[in-house]
Amino acid sequence: MSKILSIALNPAIDISSDADEVRHTHKTRTHNQRQHAGGGGINVARVIVELGGHCELLYLSGGATGELLETMLRPLGIRQHVMKIHDPVRVAYNVHELSTNLEYRFVPEGPLVSDAELAPVFDILEESDADYVVASGSLPRGVPADTYLRMAEIAARRNQRFVLDTSGEALRETLARCHVFLVKPSLGELEGLVGRKLDHESVGPAAQEVIRRGAAQYIAVTLGADGAVLVGADSITRVPAIKVAVQSAVGAGDSFVAGMTWSLAEGKDIVEAFRLGMAAGAAAVMTSGTELCRRRDILDLHAANRD
């Protein structure tokens, strides 16, 4: 089995609750509170462990919330590289309104991170023997937009497969100046990369434009309820969404990336891994709040939707 390193530069304590009704000004009484260690790279690691895989985790941690985050992660039983920072880890909050079945998500921008605090991250990457390096999530304040680019360059130099799931300037900067193994944009993020509106028929050819620029070997474009498209230089694979009862959208994209990377690390081909990623993303929306996905759900959905 190949080794995986997951990176979380902007982790979070994810809290979720239910409320009968959310109204402005009035107090919103909540119940059924749950809390998990979260943020892109941490969610990826959690799902890989849930699938029975092994994954190292590199993340930034500061303040009292950072101490809580570290405590929450210990039961995962994985090797952790904890990079200490001054500012506290952010706390994100998700409320499910029972009367409407709507979900309200409050996501802070994260701590302010200095160059000196970020520097040890690159030292760890230079020494890592991982086969897959997954960079998932937003960048915290103070971290330059070319940070994932620098990581991708290190991975390329060390013949590691770099998997990227981010957005905005960090995504554009990386793909403009480096080649990654796999990137997972949404439809809107792909539109930003090619500079025009796209429909579902034009997604594949547009992604191939990005590939021909030398930005990536594979692009997996997620389309929400319309499924996803896996694009290579000479191939376009469209898979419809797996129909499930939706409880929460939290962590679906991270679960997709985790499932796909875990499957690749297990030696599966890229299309099989893509389908496993689809099953993991669908399994994530079946659970409430920040619970993410369950192994049994992933494997059952994958088996039922192989054709």
* Tens-place pLDDT, residues 113-138: 999 999 999 999 999 999 999 999 99
What is the per-residue pLDDT for 248? 78
Strands (E), the chain: 4-8, 12-19, 30-38, 56-61, 80-84, 90-97, 102-106, 132-136, 161-165, 180-183, 216-222, 228-232, 235-239
Strand order of the β-sheet with 4-8 is 80-84, 56-61, 4-8, 132-136, 161-165, 180-183, 216-222, 228-232, 235-239
142 and 113 in contact (C-beta within 8 Å)?
yes
Q: Residue 216: which of 248, 182, 187 has the closest Cα?
A: 182
Binning pLDDT at 50, 70 and 90, where does residue 66 land? very high
pTM: 0.95
184 and 222 in contact (C-beta within 8 Å)?
yes
Report, as an integer, the average pLDDT of 260-279: 97
Going from the C-alpha of 53 to that of each of 150, 241, 261, 266, the distances in angstroms are 27, 25, 10, 9
Q: Is the pLDDT of residue 265 over 80?
A: yes
Q: Is the pLDDT of residue 1 over 80?
A: no
Residues with Cβ within 8 Å of 30's Cβ and at least 6 positions away in sequence, in order, are 17, 18, 19, 95
What is the per-residue pLDDT for 231? 98
Q: Is the pLDDT of residue 184 over 70?
A: yes
b/e code 71-103 from CB counts within 10 Å (16+ = b):
ebbeebebeebebebebbbbbbbbbbbeeeeeb
Higher confidence at residue 66 or residue 249? Answer: 66
pLDDT, averaged across the chain: 94
What is the per-residue pLDDT for 290? 76
The residue type found at 147 is T
Residue the block writes with tokens 């990227």? 164
What is the per-residue pLDDT for 207? 97
What is the per-residue pLDDT for 250? 80
Question: Percent of the chain beyond pLDDT 70?
Answer: 100
What is the per-residue pLDDT for 307? 61
Euclidean distance between CA atoms 252 and 259, whole angstroms: 10
The two structure tokens encoding residue 17: 């609750």
Q: Is the pLDDT of residue 58 over 80?
A: yes
What is the per-residue pLDDT for 233? 95
Residues with Cβ within 8 Å of 119's Cβ and at least 6 positions away in sequence, in order, are none
Q: Is the pLDDT of residue 195 over 80?
A: yes
Binning pLDDT at 50, 70 and 90, where does residue 63 land? very high
Catalytic residue, from 87, 146, 254, 297: name it.
Answer: 254
Report, as an integer, the average pLDDT of 87-95: 96
Whether 87 is catalytic: no
The two structure tokens encoding residue 289: 């709040």
Is the dihedral angle over the CA atoms 196, 202, 204, 205 positive or is it negative? negative
What is the per-residue pLDDT for 289? 72
Angle CA(295)–CA(271)–CA(146) in degrees, nearest 5?
A: 85
Q: Is the pLDDT of residue 77 over 90?
A: no
What is the per-residue pLDDT for 117? 98
